[in-house]
Amino acid sequence: MPTPDNAPWPELPYAAWKDTCATLQLWTQIVGKVRLALTPWLNHSWHVALHVTARGLATPPITHGGRAFQIEFDFIDHVLWVRASDGHVRQVVLKPMSVAEFYGDVKHVLSELGIDVRINEMPNEIADAIPFPADRTHASYDRDYAARFWRILLSTQDVMAHFRTAFLGKVSPVHFFWGSFDLAVTRFSGRRAPPHPGGVPRLPDAVAREAYSHEVSSAGFWPGGGPIDYPAFYSYAYPAPTGFADAKVRPAQAFFSKELGEFILPYDAVRTAPNPESVLMEFLQSTYDAAAELAQWDRANLECGLGEPGVPRAV
């Protein structure tokens, strides 16, 4: 059955768009690395993440040469917009083209706007990666599936943002990491964590250790690939407390993947539910409960009720 253009939880069979997914991940890395090159480091690499918008994925404003600019993937009109604070605008049409061509086009429009930036041209967190200027292997772009992916991010962002309101401690924004190609939100216990072992493909160990410097319970959405060849929601704890893998979480379709070391909830279990938002919230809450309870977080001082529009938090 065809998916309506505006369906909030559309079908996203990984096999049908895996080539587009792989290409799009590399395109987002190019854009993300522009921000990385020009922005002071923020804890846990939060400065490099993209954010979901009403039309796609975008960088926050980037300061350069006395002005600001912003780059946005528009998955409605299928255009990459580069907008500067002085009113100048450039665009790259999103269509089937190689990573090398896309990279060249992005460099060209940035140059036209007077933005001189050099990035690391090697992709991150991808095994057997090809430098952007040489990558003519990845060249797929299916407009329909790119738009479906964005609509799932938009719907997931809404649920995760509501989940985020029930935490008083340090918590990340809901943001999109272009290295791992996932939308994530992370809660922190406030305690230091043991040093991360590193070993993430094409990611400096120093970056991984800084990202996991403190105890976390993190959840997100991932379109699939590798051991999980379907889109899924995930949740993990670092460090994982004793008994975490055996914790009882909800809904019933959720399971612990020993290979990934995290709980997995297939996207289709959410998409086909009578109330997808409630099912996803149940997964987020129950997996966090397991992490926080088993690791003995100071829950009384870290948590509060879910936020309500227009209602100040009671104290």
Residues 6+ apart with CB under 8 A from 315: none
In a domain, 313, yes or no: no
Is 253 in the same domain as 279? yes
- Would you say residue 110 lies in a domain? yes
Tell me whether residue 280 is in a domain: yes
Whether residue 174 lies inside any domain: the answer is: yes
CA dist 286 and 281 (Å) reads 8
End position of a domain, from candidates 100, 134, 168: 134
User: Do 156 and 279 have their domain in common?
Assistant: yes
Closest CA to 158 of 179, 183, 130, 140: 183
Domain shared by 26 and 171, yes or no = no
What are the backbone angles phi and psi of residue 128, rounded to the nearest 5°? 55, 40
> How many angstroms separate the CA atoms of 200 and 101, rounded?
28
Print pLDDT tens along the chain (315 aa).
Answer: 456 668 999 999 999 999 999 999 999 999 999 999 999 999 999 999 999 999 999 999 999 999 999 999 999 999 999 999 999 999 999 999 999 999 999 999 999 999 999 999 999 999 999 999 999 999 999 999 999 999 999 999 999 999 999 999 999 999 999 999 999 999 999 999 999 999 999 999 999 999 999 999 999 999 999 889 999 999 999 999 999 999 999 999 999 999 999 999 999 999 999 999 999 999 999 999 999 999 999 999 999 999 999 999 988
195 and 279 within one domain = yes
- Please check whether residues 100 and 178 belong to one and the same domain: no
**pLDDT for res 6:** 87
Domain boundary among 106, 134, 162: 134
Residue 261 lies in a domain: yes
Q: Is residue 2 situated within a structural domain? A: no
Q: What is the Rg, in whole angstroms, of the alpha carbon atoms belonging to the chain?
A: 20
Q: 198 by DSSP, 3-state: which?
A: coil
> Does 247 fall in a domain?
yes
Look-up: residue for tokens 């070993």? 199
Residues 113 and 224 in one domain: no
Co-location of 88 and 174 in the same domain: no
- Do 272 and 232 lie in one domain? The reply is yes
Q: Is the peptide bond before 239 cis (omega within 30 degrees of 0)?
A: yes
Among 147, 136, 156, residue whose Cα is nearest residue 233:
156
Specify whether 149 is located in the same domain as 234.
yes
Whether residue 295 sits in one domain with residue 227: yes
Contact 162, 309 (CB under 8 A): no
72 and 172 part of one domain: no
Structural domain boundaries enclosing 21 = 14-134
Q: How far apart are alpha carbons 263 and 245 in whole angstroms?
A: 8
In this predicted structure, what is the pLDDT of residue 1? 45
- Choosing from 114, 134, 154, the residue where a domain stops is 134
At residue 56, φ and ψ (nearest 5 deg) are 170, -125
> Looking at the 3D structure of the chain, how many domains does it have?
2
5: burial class by Cβ within 10 Å (0-12, 13-18, 19+)?
A: exposed
Examine residue 253 and state whether it is found in any structural domain, yes or no: yes
pLDDT at 60: 97
Burial class (CB in 10 A: 0-12, 13-18, 19+), 179: buried
Are 51 and 129 in a shared domain?
yes
Q: Determine the 3-state secondary structure of 70 from DSSP.
A: strand
